[in-house]
Structure 1
């Protein structure tokens, strides 16, 4: 026996014998892989700066402050991109906005690769950030609205898999280019230019993808929405799901125009603030201090620059492996338990990095201990917190304003990211690595408390059931 999209049991042999079901599954996989090229770009463009900064320092005359500025310019753009794209996707549609973001990804990556000055680089990274922020909102929302409830967690988490795959590709290409062509001028430009290729793939692929059926339903286009549901469900389940969507839309009487006034009800405000909290705590772990500055942390710990680039690839491999574990666990264990276990693991890892940095002198041994702690951290972050975080934000908000609410929550995610990216190099220069990571330990304990007290469980429920339970 297995569970269908609505939580009912069905005979597995019959379900898998259905040609219509197999066709629907194949089409859903196609939609998922193409849309998640947005996640791949998200990961590559945030991870590539990790190694590229080492080579652009001299060319652009970077100081510790301007290094942080280059890293955080993308994050500031991502914050604005998340805020705007969520609302725009509610108005114009998920697919149309993803197509627009693909163009921004291409132009932003090309501008970064050609940047002649620091100011130009900051502007280019900001433009690229608009696309990264937009993808971080619209792609999970699109996937959540296409997927059946029984596998929604696994489908949305494919985007997390593509994010960490993008980061791994960035680390790998940085290490390859740095070790083979590191003596050539401008090698960092090639590191940054590679991001144009998946941007083209995303744009071409989304030309042939359908619009979100739930978004179409919110615009009164129920027949079109049903036809798209039939592409990714068996016909019987597609019709039943559209009936549930139609009923839920008619019940959303508190919805006004898809803006701040929609949060006037107490229940809506509470869930919105929980969404903000989920987004902020996921970044207070300090994950992007490792993603953006991991190579520099390892060089300061005692590794040579090229060895640090290679060692940092290990972080990418662990992130990918951990995400596969997260995909397997998400629809079995649940979102909340994964976040609790994840924050426990990341906080202990950060404590270990801080202790090693304080009590072990710079050496290969110190670098290896820190690398091991980073590996433990990333296993917990990418395998437990990351998958649950993205899925929860795509699930807990009401249908008509899902994009807008996700946009505001993920804007808070990027604002936290901005603060870390901007001030981490200066904080390390002032306090040292150890004391800086002790600050993250304190933030991890606060995050663990927040999840234990406030975060709801959504596993196994349809989006409409979640909305009824959380909003009444």
Structure 2
């Protein structure tokens, strides 16, 4: 590569550039991440709705776990469906389909007459949630310039926690304004509005240049790059995409079976599964789904628990801004480790507080104990939403090869949702059988194992384009492959084309 070309690339939005994002990229990210807003609202709203549907639907600890976790069961299969179909149909078209499913699920759950129908429509809603979690980060990662990919992908996490905060606020507002038996139906129905906005907005958005290139539609890929990249970036990024796709096409590795028989892909797939699972094994969604239930169990009233839960949403949103800021300054691996260790310490704190402090003082529930548990939740969410969750979605959107990104992302998110499903289903039973403190001690022990996994397995992907990440990870995981590329380095074939 000539010296002039190198300078041009670094003035544009290459991996190490400080160039600004094109305005159209921000519009695309904002519209697409409405899927994240729906993801957050539909997972967070159940925390308050459970308190009101207990009598209406005659819930037991078992059916409480079933209603909550059925969405997550559907999400696991939605992630696989969307991951596989996104390769064939395109990322954009899948998001449009998911918007329709979001609307159907929201209306269905709000009108459910009994537990059976609630579980069915929560599962349908879960298909959309899981599909969005697998598709939206990939869509944004592929359409973003390399130097701003971290911040733009993390908008998805910001929208998720914003959706959860909106859910907590609407829960408290509906209770304050209406209260009563049927409040939960309005809580669930509100999600129809952003679903319609997502569907309408995505009708006007393009698909990603990498998907167009993968389908041989290079003219359309160029058009998207012209709208989303600095002028000097278009040629070299097209060359980089085309080169990587040619290498993969020559190897003919496009089926899930090929992952299992190709050592470096299998190792990479295992890392992706691990990254997805450790985020859920912290027990984060026991707090997001059951916070009011837990706070009531340690002495708060229904109204106080709903209002206190808003603090969880506010902290999550504020710390996600911190996470976006940190992603531009420290490595993905370091950020994952900070989040994992911080979350684990907070889990032990919650367990210790609920174990040591008395349940009752002078015959009344110990208010200080309930607020100390809330403090533990807020500290936990500071590490989870400020470090671990944003970097998890970013890593998953970066580490998989272009032709297999949809399939591998879908499978990794499937594993994430299955773990989420099991934890959310079992937590009410754990709470009833072993108590709050022992439940969190168990999560803390699992968190230690997660930290060991991060230290040993999680790669560093910062300051590399998606194609450079693929070369780097292949070199690292396959002993027979060429040496991995250094950060910001291009391949010899690309150098020759750029000269």
Give the structure-2-normalised TM-score. 0.90
Residue 79 of structure 1 and its aligned partner are, at CA, apart by 0.3
Residue 8 of structure 1 and its aligned partner are, at CA, apart by 5.5
Aligned residue in 2 for 1:144: 141
- Confirm or deny: 8 A CA contact 2:353 2:369 kept in the other structure: yes
1:86 aligns with 2:83: yes
Q: Aligned equivalents of 2:86 and 2:257: distance in 1?
A: 16
Q: Residue 401 of structure 1 is aligned with which of 401, 404, 409?
A: 404
Q: Aligned equivalents of 2:474 and 2:381: distance in 1?
A: 34
SS in 1 for 2:194: helix
Residue 179 of structure 1 and its aligned partner are, at CA, apart by 2.3
CA offsets, 1:179-216, max 9 Å, x none?
A: 2221x321000000000000000000000000111011
- Confirm or deny: 8 A CA contact 1:254 1:262 kept in the other structure: no
CA offsets, 1:205-229, max 9 Å, x none?
A: 0000001110111111111111111
Q: Aligned equivalents of 2:138 and 2:212: distance in 1?
A: 13
SS in 2 for 1:320: helix
Q: Aligned equivalents of 2:38 and 2:95: distance in 1?
A: 12
Aligned residue in 2 for 1:412: 415
Which ranges in structure 2 are unaligned for 5 or more consecutive residues?
Answer: 1-6, 360-365, 476-499
Superposed, which structure 2 residues align to 1:95-134 within 5 Å?
Answer: 95-134=92-131
1:205 aligns with 2:201: yes
Structure 1 residues 297 and 217: CA distance shift in structure 2, 3 A: same
CA offsets, 1:22-74, max 9 Å, x none?
A: xx611000000000000000000000000000000100010000000000100
SS in 1 for 2:251: coil
Q: Aligned equivalents of 1:262 and 1:289: distance in 2?
A: 33
Structure 1 residues 397 and 263: CA distance shift in structure 2, 3 A: farther
Q: Aligned equivalents of 1:3 and 1:50: distance in 2?
A: 48
How many residue pairs match? The answer is 460
CA offsets, 1:403-424, max 9 Å, x none?
A: 1100000000000001111000
Aligned residue in 1 for 2:482: none
CA offsets, 1:127-148, max 9 Å, x none?
A: 0000000000000000000011
Aligned residue in 2 for 1:5: 13
Choose 1 or 2 for highest CA Rg.
Answer: 2
CA offsets, 1:273-324, max 9 Å, x none?
A: 0000000111000000000000111111111110000000000000000000
Which ranges in structure 1 are unaligned for 5 or more consecutive residues?
Answer: 17-23
Q: Aligned equivalents of 2:367 and 2:11: distance in 1?
A: 51
- Confirm or deny: 8 A CA contact 2:16 2:463 kept in the other structure: no
Q: Aligned equivalents of 2:454 and 2:11: distance in 1?
A: 28
1:260 aligns with 2:268: no
Residue 262 of structure 1 and its aligned partner are, at CA, apart by 3.9
- Confirm or deny: 8 A CA contact 1:254 1:265 kept in the other structure: no
- Confirm or deny: 8 A CA contact 1:318 1:378 kept in the other structure: yes
Over the residues paired in the alignment, what is the CA RMSD in angstroms?
Answer: 1.3
1:242 aligns with 2:238: yes
Aligned residue in 2 for 1:392: 395
Structure 1 residues 7 and 121: CA distance shift in structure 2, 3 A: closer
Aligned residue in 1 for 2:269: 272
- Confirm or deny: 8 A CA contact 1:40 1:164 kept in the other structure: yes
Q: Residue 153 of structure 1 is aligned with which of 133, 147, 150?
A: 150
1:191 aligns with 2:194: no
Structure 1 residues 64 and 152: CA distance shift in structure 2, 3 A: same
Residue 332 of structure 1 and its aligned partner are, at CA, apart by 1.4
Q: Aligned equivalents of 1:137 and 1:260: distance in 2?
A: 20
Q: Aligned equivalents of 1:8 and 1:419: distance in 2?
A: 41
Give the structure-1-normalised TM-score. 0.96
- Confirm or deny: 8 A CA contact 1:5 1:462 kept in the other structure: no
Q: Residue 284 of structure 1 is aligned with which of 281, 285, 289?
A: 281
- Confirm or deny: 8 A CA contact 1:331 1:460 kept in the other structure: no
Aligned residue in 1 for 2:430: 427
Aligned residue in 2 for 1:173: 170
Structure 1 residues 255 and 388: CA distance shift in structure 2, 3 A: farther
SS in 2 for 1:332: coil
Q: Aligned equivalents of 1:49 and 1:94: distance in 2?
A: 28
- Confirm or deny: 8 A CA contact 1:146 1:213 kept in the other structure: yes
Aligned residue in 2 for 1:324: 321
Residue 263 of structure 1 and its aligned partner are, at CA, apart by 4.2
